[in-house]
Chain A
Amino acid sequence: MDLHVTHAWYLVLGALLFTLGAVGVVVRRNPLVMLMCVELMLNAVNLTFVTFSRMLGDVGGQTIVFFVLVVAAAEVVVGLGITVALLRRLPGATADDVSYLRG
């Protein structure tokens, strides 16, 4: 079988991963698991960027991934800080319990 791994394959994989991450964010209630699903989405995006970088022969794609990595790290830090602050006051809370801004 002369199957060639084209760039499209990577892109499809990235799309799949992104979809899984998006659905996970929406469906799960545990705040930390939601955060992990966000990480899934970010990784999908990173994969896509790197693929494009190779497709277009441009190193900018990889540079962007670098920045995404940094920002993801900062985001996780802050997200965990919020979770800690929240769960200290409301032990055992899920995302649904923080609905004080209900209209």
Chain B
Amino acid sequence: MEELIWLIPALPLAGALLLVVAGRRLGEPVAGLVATGATLGSFALALGMFANLVSLDEHERILTQRLFTWVPAGSFSVDMGFLLDPLAMTMVLFVTGVGALIHIYSIGYMHGDPRFHQFFLYLNLFVASMLLLVLGDNMLLTFLGWEGVGACSYLLISFWFEEEANASAGKKAFVTNRIGDWGFMVAMFFTFTTFGTLQYAEVLTGASSLAETTATAIALLLFVGAVGKSAQIPLFIWLPDAMAGPTPVSALIHAATMVTAGVFLMVRTSPILVEAADWVPTTIATVGALTALVAATIAVAQNDIKKVLAYSTVSQLGYMFLAVGTGAYVAAIFHMVTHAFFKALLFLGSGSVIHGMGDEQDMRRMGGLRRFMPVTAVTFIIGWLAIAGVPPLAGFWSKDEILLGAWEESPVLWAMGLLTALLTAFYMSRQVFLTFFGEPRWSLEGDGDAAVDPAAGMPGDELPEPKPAGFHPHESPWSMTMPLVVLAFLAVVAGGLNLPFSKDLHFLESWLEPSLFGNGHHSTAEGSEKVALAVVAIAAGLAGIAGAAVLYLKRRGRPATVEAAVLRRGWYIDSSVTWFMGGPGRAAFDAVAWFDRTVIDGAVNGVGAAVRLVGTGVRPMQSGYVRTYALTLGLGALAVLVLVLSRVAI
């Protein structure tokens, strides 16, 4: 079975290559079917591998395959090899599974787009890169996949590049990721100097012999990489802008796969993290909690249906890093999996709404859609309940694990997490109520008091134009609603992966044990403590829902008090970064460019100019006069004579 591991990333890659060559000719919908087929093929293989791994003894659940030596450079050698252990298996399963669903969804969503085949080409390339990232048996291969998903995210975010804003969003994502990538690269350099190799098998098993300072450096730098890729403070600014891409892109990249690469990296290198100084995991946890809280506050005031979900993603990723920082790696992976399901569901659902509303994305122009789009509404509501942490849906179990880990680490972190949970419930409920409940607002005129035009009472940017009078939103085709149903089902049952009731039900924990090398936080809380924490969390969730219901369902109170401008503008973080880069940043860049042009290029060109000058000066020696040559010969011979004399005679 091991000999087939390479097929898992190879199938989407082959799909991408086929679409490069013949995509335009295949056209819609065959191109989409080819891409979906490739991803489904990978998924089927992944299931096969999973069955194989399960059949193996617990401590031997590692399948490896070495294809060829990729970089033979003397003492430094990197192979193209794959490592399929439980952690990688988990990632592969949901990447290919959710990826396949999104491919199917895209066939419907991208219908009629002139570059249909190109979209699927990028999607397949993305899946292939992500699989390389996850399956690589050494850090360089992971980095290759890391960069690959970064490049594909650029291509996909700016897919509709005819709009200036979309192209800029793609560039922003790529550049911000690059800053994080620098951290990853330097971490790799450190790892190589310390271990002499980048293979996980050697690095992770040898991590216990690391000096604390080295481990701290490596862990911190890897975290910098993760911060860029997984959109934590301060490098999260690219994610909300990335909503400019088509919705399936947002679902795949920003909900389920690419942004989770950072969390995956931290869990994969957990043995190094354990060896680092104590303040490193604490920093990770604090950054995670802070990101979660800040992003949640921003999501409260967003009017674009996708921007809410974008900030929600940043917030949930913060949860995962909080878990990593407190040592609860299993909880982080658990939440990653459940988040993949319900966030992808929410994004795809929002895409369905946008599609049905004729490309309208402002929630103030929606309302009462549950009557017109029942399937979308029901699945979206399931997703909402899952993310709000309402038991027995998946989100509750995973979030609870994280909060438990936070509680055992520090009450402050737990409080931040709890507050975030409350806000999450609040803004998600706000989104659901504004979109699917209440009276339809798409045809109302802008002026008038709140009672007549509820949209007028909500602060924000300029209200989009109302739809014409006879406009009716329609449900999306089955190619789009089918994945929603599947994901909704998964969002309901995924909690069963790691139920806290008894040790036997900790399937995910025991499954991931070999990948964590015995690290990982094991809860020491009493059963009653756990129940108390769970009750508090449920209460917070319900409070959030209730608050949103009051404001947006019952229409009592003014939304403006909650939706402050500073929140809508994202605490002005993004604008201050833009200002800095445009002002002092630009001046610094110009100085560097000047230095490069004048000093470095000047030196290189100066060498050429100097040579030319010397040549021009020396050229008159070639006068062409034989007698001058003869004279020079004679004088040279004289010089040699003098030299010999000086040595021999005197």
Contacts and interface: CB of A to CB of B under 8 A. Distances in A.
A95 interface: yes
Interface string A67-103: 0000000000000000000000000000110111111
Nearest to B634: A22
Nearest to B635: A26
B630 A103 contact: no
Contacts of A29: 627
Interface stretch (B210-218, B502-510, B618-626): B618-626
Contacts of B531: none
B650 interface: no
Contacts of A44: none
Nearest to B628: A26
A42 interface: no
A102 B622 contact: yes
B614 interface: no
A99 B634 contact: no
A25 interface: yes
Nearest to A25: B630
B643 interface: no
B622 A26 contact: no
B624 A100 contact: yes
A26 B631 CA distance: 6
B625 A99 contact: yes
Interface string A1-42: 000000000000000000000100111010000000000000
Contacts of A96: 625-627
Contact of B630 (A26, A98, A100): A26
Contacts of A102: 622-624
Contacts of A26: 627, 630-631, 634
Contacts of B622: 101-103
Contacts, number: 34
The winner among A22, A27, A98, A100 for most chain B CB atoms within 10 A is A22
A99 B624 CA distance: 4
A98 B626 contact: yes
Nearest to A96: B625
A98 B621 CA distance: 16
Contacts of A27: 627
Nearest to B632: A26
Contacts of B625: 95-96, 99
Nearest to A37: B630
Nearest to A28: B627
B632 to A, nearest CB: 10
Contacts of B621: 103
Q: What does DSSP make chain B's interface, helix, strand, loop or mixed?
A: helix
Contacts of A22: 634
Contacts of B620: 103
Contacts of A100: 624
Nearest to A29: B627
Contacts of A99: 623-626
B19 to A, nearest CB: 61
A102 B622 CA distance: 6
Contacts of B627: 25-27, 29, 95-96
B640 to A, nearest CB: 14
Contacts of A98: 624, 626
Scoring A29, A95, A103 by chain B CB atoms within 10 A of each residue's CB, the highest score goes to A103
A103 B624 contact: yes
Contacts of B624: 98-103
Contacts of B631: 26
A33 to B, nearest CB: 12
A99 B621 CA distance: 12
A90 to B, nearest CB: 14
Given A103-B619, A103-B621, A95 B634 contact: no
A16 to B, nearest CB: 15
Interface in B606-650: 619-627, 630-631, 634
Contacts of A25: 627, 630, 634
B323 to A, nearest CB: 77
A29 B619 CA distance: 23
Contacts of B619: 103
A85 to B, nearest CB: 15
A100 B622 CA distance: 11
Which among B619, B625, B634 has the greatest number of chain A C-beta atoms within 10 A? B625
B460 to A, nearest CB: 78
Nearest to B631: A26
A22 B619 CA distance: 26
Interface in B22-61: none
A98 B620 CA distance: 16
Contacts of B630: 25-26
A103 B624 CA distance: 7
B439 to A, nearest CB: 93
B570 to A, nearest CB: 70
Contacts of A101: 622, 624
B79 to A, nearest CB: 57
A49 B72 CA distance: 66
A96 B629 CA distance: 11
A22 B641 CA distance: 15
Nearest to A103: B622
Nearest to B623: A102
A101 B627 CA distance: 13
A26 B630 CA distance: 6
Nearest to B622: A103
Contacts of B623: 99, 102-103
Nearest to A102: B624
Closest 10 CB pairs between A and B?
A: A103-B622, A102-B624, A99-B624, A26-B631, A103-B619, A95-B626, A101-B624, A22-B634, A99-B625, A25-B630
Given A99-B626, A103-B623, 15 more contacts: A22-B634, A25-B627, A25-B634, A26-B631, A26-B634, A27-B627, A95-B625, A95-B626, A96-B627, A98-B624, A99-B624, A101-B624, A102-B623, A103-B621, A103-B622
27 contacts: A22-B634, A25-B627, A25-B634, A26-B627, A26-B630, A26-B631, A27-B627, A29-B627, A95-B626, A95-B627, A96-B625, A96-B626, A96-B627, A98-B626, A99-B624, A99-B625, A99-B626, A100-B624, A101-B622, A101-B624, A102-B623, A102-B624, A103-B619, A103-B620, A103-B621, A103-B622, A103-B623
